[in-house]
Chain A
Amino acid sequence: KAGVTQTPRYLIKTRGQQVTLSCSPISGHRSVSWYQQTPGQGLQFLFEYFSETQRNKGNFPGRFSGRQFSNSRSEMNVSTLELGDSALYLCASSLSPGLAGGGRGANEQFFGPGTRLTVL
C-alpha cells in the first residue's frame, strides 16, 4: 500500500507570494492533518480535515488555510508569505474515526515526507 505522498518536495518562494501544497493520504484514510516544523517552534499542528470538513485548527493566522476533496486528498494554502513561514510542512493521514472520543485518539497518524518551503 502506498504511503502518504506530498508534492512538491521542495519549494522556493519570495515574500508576499502565495503557495499551495498538496497531500495524498494512504488509500482508505479519510482524516488528513497538517503540521509545521521549524527549528525554533518544533512541530505545530495546523489543521485537520475529515470528510471535506475542517474539524480542528491550530493557532495560526488566517493566511494559512486548507481544504479536502471528496477523494480525501488535501491541499493547504499560505497567502502573503513571510520569512517566518519557511519550514517543513508535514501531512499525516489516519483512519476514519470509527469511535467517538478516546477510540479516535488512539489512531496512528502516518506522515508523508514533507514539503520544504523556503521563503526569500
Chain B
Amino acid sequence: AQSVTQLGSHVSVSEGALVLLRCNYSSSVPPYLFWYVQYPNQGLQLLLKYTSAATLVKGINGFEAEFKKSETSFHLTKPSAHMSDAAEYFCAVSDLGGGSNYKLTFGKGTLLTVNP
C-alpha cells in the first residue's frame, strides 16, 4: 500500500519568507503525486501534480515542487510567502489499487501560518 508522510503538522513563516512544506511518499511503483490546498470551510484545490514528466513541477499561486526519486520526496516550495497562502496543505499519492481502481492517499496535512 502506498503512503504519504508530511513532516511538520504546523509551519509558520513570515510574509516574504521562503515556504517549504515537506512530503515523503512510499510506493512500490512510480507514483503520481499531488499537492492540494484547503482554505477554511472549503474543499480541496489542486496546486500541482507530478505525472512522470518533468521532475520540477510548477503550480498555481507561485508554488512549485520537485520530485526526487532517490529521496522519495515531493516537497512544496514558494519563494516568497503571502498572507493569502495561509491554509492547510495536503500531499497525496494516487493509488491504482488492483486493476484500474483509483484513489488518493493523503498525508495528515500541514497548516501554514503566515505572520505579517
Binding site for B on A (CB under 8 A): 4, 31, 33, 35, 42-45, 48, 55-56, 58, 90, 92, 97, 100-102, 104-114
Among candidates A42, A108, A114, residue contacting B108 with C-beta atoms closer than 8 Å: A42
Within the complex, the shortest CB–CB distance from A94 to chain B, in Å, comes to: 8
Across-interface contacts of A111 in B (CB, < 8 A): 36, 43-45
Among candidates B42, B44, B96, B104, residue contacting A101 with C-beta atoms closer than 8 Å: B96
Among candidates A56, A90, A113, residue contacting B97 with C-beta atoms closer than 8 Å: A56
Within the complex, the shortest CB–CB distance from A98 to chain B, in Å, comes to: 11
Within the complex, the shortest CB–CB distance from A88 to chain B, in Å, comes to: 9
Alpha-carbon distance between A4 and B44 when the two chains are bound, in angstroms: 11
A102 touches B32 (CB 8 A): yes
Alpha-carbon distance between A108 and B108 when the two chains are bound, in angstroms: 19
Binding site for A on B (CB under 8 A): 30, 32, 34, 36, 41-46, 49, 51-52, 90, 92, 94-97, 100-109
A108 touches B49 (CB 8 A): yes
Across-interface contacts of B106 in A (CB, < 8 A): 35, 42-44
Given the contacts A42-B108, A105-B32, A106-B32, A56 and B45 also touching, CB distance less than 8 Å:
no
B43 touches A114 (CB 8 A): yes
Complex: chain A residue closest to B45, CB-CB: A111
Within the complex, the shortest CB–CB distance from A52 to chain B, in Å, comes to: 16
B96 touches A55 (CB 8 A): no
Across-interface contacts of B36 in A (CB, < 8 A): 111
Alpha-carbon distance between A108 and B44 when the two chains are bound, in angstroms: 12
The 28 sampled A-B contact pairs (Cβ below 8 Å) are: A4-B43, A35-B104, A43-B90, A43-B104, A45-B103, A48-B103, A55-B100, A56-B97, A56-B102, A56-B103, A90-B43, A92-B104, A101-B100, A102-B32, A104-B100, A104-B102, A105-B32, A105-B94, A106-B52, A106-B94, A108-B46, A110-B46, A111-B44, A112-B43, A113-B41, A113-B43, A114-B42, A114-B43
Complex: chain B residue closest to A41, CB-CB: B108
